[in-house]
Structure 1
Amino acid sequence: MARVDPRAPGRLGPGTPPPAKPRRRWVRWLLLALSLLGLAISAAVLYFFVILPLGFGTSLVAFTAALVPVAIVFSAVWWIDRYTPQPRMSLVYAFAWGAIGSVLLTLWFGGFFDLWISPEDETSLVDTFLGAVVQAPVVEESMKSLGLALLLLRGRRFIAGPIDGVVYAALIAGGFAFTENILYFGSSFHQAQAAGEVDVFWQTFFLRGVLSPFAHVSFTALCGLGLGIAAERRSLMLYFGLGLGGLSLGMVLHALWNGSTFFLPVDPEAPMAGFLRYYVTVQVPIFLLLVGIVLFLRLREKRILRRQLSEYGRAGWFSPDEVEMLVSMRRRRKAEKWAGAHGAVARMGMRDLIRSAISLGMERHSVLFAKPTVRTRARERELLERITADRRLVGALTEPVVRM
């Protein structure tokens, strides 16, 4: 097939006629503003009523300690997300929901749920067990997953596949763990000060900050994975089936993690030995299995992108070298560096071209699972026009004005 000139947007044919009713963009912006205002108010409430009572010095120590596990989570999310990057504002929203919204809702609904499941003649041990093994997994995972549902309501451009769901779930869970760690580290620091020893604090830091920075991430990622698969298939039934299935499995793993402290034998001479054996034999294999799933999904994304962009290449939109550049992280960086040698604008144009091509390939893959609609055709045309505009921009800035 003859190669189509990608600089001729007219070859795309007539555009899709505008809808009869114009989209009310102000409604979308109003909802965004209200959600940001709600998070800001929630942050103020959380700070004044939960964190501030710890004391300024204790809060500062706890906050500093909590930065270690959240930095580990951020590094993992960056590595997962860099191949098909998500909008930065939505990533910030996901972390803010986890650190603020889900924590506040958990504190609010947790008390009511605890009263509902508690028997009349419960002892302190039963109350502690129900809170850790039933109340915490159910309420915490539900509130974290609510953030994923809100992202889905805003549109498929945020969660369009399994990797997207895992990325947003990891950020929400990382945010939740960040605030929770501040509270745990602050409480253990108070205990260490009262006892005159630092062992209590460092033990808590070791358990939560070193051994289990991905505990909450692993639980919530299962719901994100299910919702991402459903979004890729564009199936409403799968949204409920896989979403609730992933949420339920995350609750089970959360209960298994919290419940281990009640059933493991404790040796007074080596109190950590039993937990470490359980951690190595149960939790580490579960974590490695989830890591394997993520690695498989990353390789799958690369195969999908190569296949779909090759289809557009056969239609004349990309050359074989361009397809190879778009599916390779190393070649993308080289292309951006080459464009950057001609100025910041050229680099921005190349980066936008790469991201638009990635979105085009992944959107095309998702459309294959359902009937093309007016919206999907309009989205395809929009991305192709952006690629055309970016080609023109980069070409105008990098080609010599006078040919030698």
Structure 2
Amino acid sequence: MNTTGFPAPPASGTAALDPGYDYDVQRTDPRGPARLGDGGPQRSRRRPPWVRWAAFALSFLLLAGGAVLLYLFIILPLGFGTSLVAFTAALVPVAIVFTAVWWIDRYTPQPRISLVYAFIWGAVGSVALTFVIGGPFTSWITPSEPSDVTASFLGAVIQAPVIEESMKSAGLIGLLIWGRRYIAGPIDGVVYAALIAGGFAFTENILYFGNSFHQAQAAGEVDVFWQTFFLRGLLSPFAHVSFTALCGLGLGIAAERRSLMLYFGLGVGGLSLGMILHALWNGSSFFLPVDPASPLAGFLRYYASVQVPIFLLLAGIVLFLRLRERRILRRQLSDYGRAGWFAPAEVDLLVAMGRRRKAEKWAGRHGAVARMGMRDLIRASIELGMQRHSVLHGRATAKTRLQERELLERITADRRLIGSLTQPVVRR
């Protein structure tokens, strides 16, 4: 074994492949990635990288325009002082969401640019579209002369769940259109959905906290503001996340199975279930009994008996998916190990978070470039294993074989880079 902790495969000889694996790559020289073959006939040309970057740039420009409009017509009327207080208070729940997303995503990390886009879409794009579409939709579903209670009920229980969840889920559809590399499995869908929902709740909380702060100033009491902060900032930071995560989960399962029918069925099913939970959350305020002596008592009982079990169920599903990712990665990388690409010790290193950190720390002692190479090798290996799992549930195509070849070449190049920076020039 060399000093990198990644033993080099044999210099010659064909790797023995299990006959049950028709997706493994015949490799006559493990040190020569150029000899992997042409990857089969290419029936479709890949999009140039600039196309994806141009799409992202255009999207960010549109989102920047939406942010300016939100600032001019919604944030600015609150006033600078009120906006600052509301913004600071809204940082608390969004920080809780960010922490949860970091924990979920760190095992198979997503590209940072797409994570930033997801949050901005939720905080700007989905909010702007909700304001644009929500008003006409509410007018369409509201009777000609409604009472105040009827109009409020329709807006909270019908308009908000349907429009808000649809606009948030539009960000997930955009990520799927740009490429399956962003949403390739259930955990990916949950991560992006959580960021979009967290961004939406962040902007919404600024508005709620700003209005309650105005009311507190007008009444000369701070109880109104702290009650709003307690309900939205501490009790329900994951409310929007739970609603939108169901659509992300459905789209992620469909992406893993590579099924167009599942995209539609599970996507619409998850979106509909998210709308139902959203309507249940908003509608509770219309049906719960209110005790004047203790206004929050009825809501807290409902919260503990209904919302907490729903949240724990969803948290259990996410935890199961995290453990499932670990099993998938070990199984698929072991398959590549039998084909001669990884040693058993390497597979153990790649599936354990602690060993990954130790490997990066060891490489970092030889310089920043070696640490970057180790980090890229780990990420490429993770992507290789998860992609193989997805392909085995669908079918291998010329594009997936080319992607596999590129990942194997990237792993080989990272091995060479790490070895050149860590092995002594003069043999001891």
TM-score (norm 1): 0.98
| 1:100 aligned residue (118, 124, 141) | 124
| 1:309 aligned residue (330, 333, 339) | 333
Q: CA deviation digits over 1:308-365, x for unaligned, max 9?
A: 0000001010000000000000000000000001000000000000000000000000
- Amino acid across the alignment from 2:205: N
**Corresponding position: 1:126 with 2:150:** yes
In the alignment, which residue of structure 1 is the partner of 2:189?
Answer: 165
Residue 403 of structure 1 deviates from its aligned partner by 1.1
Alpha-carbon contact 2:156-2:283 (below 8 Å) kept: yes
- Amino acid across the alignment from 1:214: F
In the alignment, which residue of structure 2 is the partner of 1:234?
Answer: 258
In the alignment, which residue of structure 1 is the partner of 2:170?
Answer: 146
Residue 161 of structure 1 deviates from its aligned partner by 0.2
Residue 6 of structure 1 deviates from its aligned partner by 3.7
Q: Partner of 2:413: helix, strand, or coil? A: helix
In the alignment, which residue of structure 2 is the partner of 1:156?
Answer: 180
Give distance in 1, aligned partners of 2:40 and 2:64. 40
Q: Partner of 2:393: helix, strand, or coil? A: coil
Alpha-carbon contact 2:247-2:274 (below 8 Å) kept: yes
| 2:364 aligned residue (340, 344, 350) | 340
Alpha-carbon contact 1:7-1:391 (below 8 Å) kept: no
Residue 36 of structure 1 deviates from its aligned partner by 1.1
Residue 22 of structure 1 deviates from its aligned partner by 6.7
**Corresponding position: 1:349 with 2:373:** yes
Alpha-carbon contact 1:158-1:164 (below 8 Å) kept: yes
Residue 179 of structure 1 deviates from its aligned partner by 0.1
Q: Partner of 1:368: helix, strand, or coil? A: helix
- Amino acid across the alignment from 1:149: I
Within 5 Å, give how 1:353-368 maps onto structure 2: 353-368=377-392
Residue 369 of structure 1 deviates from its aligned partner by 1.4
**Corresponding position: 1:265 with 2:289:** yes
Q: Partner of 1:403: helix, strand, or coil? A: coil
Residue 30 of structure 1 deviates from its aligned partner by 2.9
Alpha-carbon contact 2:41-2:398 (below 8 Å) kept: no
In the alignment, which residue of structure 2 is the partner of 1:48?
Answer: 72
Residue 11 of structure 1 deviates from its aligned partner by 4.3
Alpha-carbon contact 2:43-2:398 (below 8 Å) kept: no
Alpha-carbon contact 1:163-1:225 (below 8 Å) kept: yes
**Corresponding position: 1:288 with 2:312:** yes
| 1:318 aligned residue (342, 346, 351) | 342
Q: CA deviation digits over 1:233-283, x for unaligned, max 9?
A: 000000000000000000000000000001001111111100000000000
**Corresponding position: 1:208 with 2:232:** yes
In the alignment, which residue of structure 2 is the partner of 1:189?
Answer: 213
Q: CA deviation digits over 1:191-224, x for unaligned, max 9?
A: 0000000000000000000000000000000000
In the alignment, which residue of structure 2 is the partner of 1:180?
Answer: 204
TM-score (norm 2): 0.92
Q: Partner of 2:136: helix, strand, or coil? A: helix
Cα 1:107–1:6 change in 2 (3 A) is same
Alpha-carbon contact 1:264-1:274 (below 8 Å) kept: yes
- Percent sequence identity is 78
Cα 1:352–1:19 change in 2 (3 A) is same
Residue 24 of structure 1 deviates from its aligned partner by 4.6
RMSD (Å) for aligned C-alpha atoms:
1.4
Residue 78 of structure 1 deviates from its aligned partner by 0.1
In the alignment, which residue of structure 2 is the partner of 1:13?
Answer: 37
| 2:404 aligned residue (380, 386, 394) | 380
| 1:137 aligned residue (150, 161, 180) | 161
Q: CA deviation digits over 1:60-89, x for unaligned, max 9?
A: 000000000000000000000000000000
Alpha-carbon contact 1:165-1:224 (below 8 Å) kept: yes
Alpha-carbon contact 1:7-1:388 (below 8 Å) kept: yes
Alpha-carbon contact 2:63-2:124 (below 8 Å) kept: yes
Alpha-carbon contact 2:39-2:401 (below 8 Å) kept: no
In the alignment, which residue of structure 2 is the partner of 1:76?
Answer: 100
Give distance in 2, aligned partners of 1:15 and 1:247. 38
Give distance in 1, aligned partners of 2:197 and 2:39. 42
Q: Partner of 2:232: helix, strand, or coil? A: helix
Residue 16 of structure 1 deviates from its aligned partner by 4.8
The worse-fitting range, judged by mean Cα deviation, of 83-92 and 118-127 is: 118-127
Residue 371 of structure 1 deviates from its aligned partner by 1.6
**Corresponding position: 1:59 with 2:67:** no
The worse-fitting range, judged by mean Cα deviation, of 180-189 and 115-124 is: 115-124
Residue 25 of structure 1 deviates from its aligned partner by 4.4
Q: Partner of 1:400: helix, strand, or coil? A: coil
Q: Partner of 1:238: helix, strand, or coil? A: helix
- Structure 1, unaligned runs of 5 or more: none
| 2:133 aligned residue (109, 113, 122) | 109
**Corresponding position: 1:31 with 2:55:** yes
Residue 2 of structure 1 deviates from its aligned partner by 5.8
Q: Partner of 2:146: helix, strand, or coil? A: coil
- Amino acid across the alignment from 2:321: L
Q: Partner of 1:346: helix, strand, or coil? A: helix
Alpha-carbon contact 1:99-1:177 (below 8 Å) kept: yes
Q: Partner of 2:144: helix, strand, or coil? A: coil
Give the helix-richer structure, 1 or 2. Answer: 1
Cα 1:68–1:49 change in 2 (3 A) is same
- Structure 2, unaligned runs of 5 or more: 1-14, 18-26
Q: Partner of 1:372: helix, strand, or coil? A: coil
